[in-house]
Amino acid sequence: MSNFTDAPQLNSGALDSHWHRHLRIVRLRQPVDDDDEFLRQLGSRSEVRDRLGGLNYRKIPRGYFRLVEIDGKPAGVVAIAPSRILGADDFEISCVLLEEYENNGVATEGCAMLIDEYPSPAPPARLLAGVKPDNPAGVRVAEKLGFRRLDEPGAQGEVVLEYTYVDPAV
Decide which of 44 and 28 is more confident.
28
Question: Domains of the chain, with CATH numbers?
Answer: 24-163 (3.40.630.30)
CB-based contacts of 107: which residues, under 8 Å, 6+ apart?
76, 78, 95, 97, 137, 138, 141
Query: Residue range 128-142: average pLDDT?
Result: 88
pLDDT(56) > 70 = no
pLDDT(124) > 80 = no
Query: Residue range 64-84: average pLDDT?
Result: 88
pTM of the model: 0.75
Burial of 153 (0-12, 13-18, 19+ CB in 10 A): middle
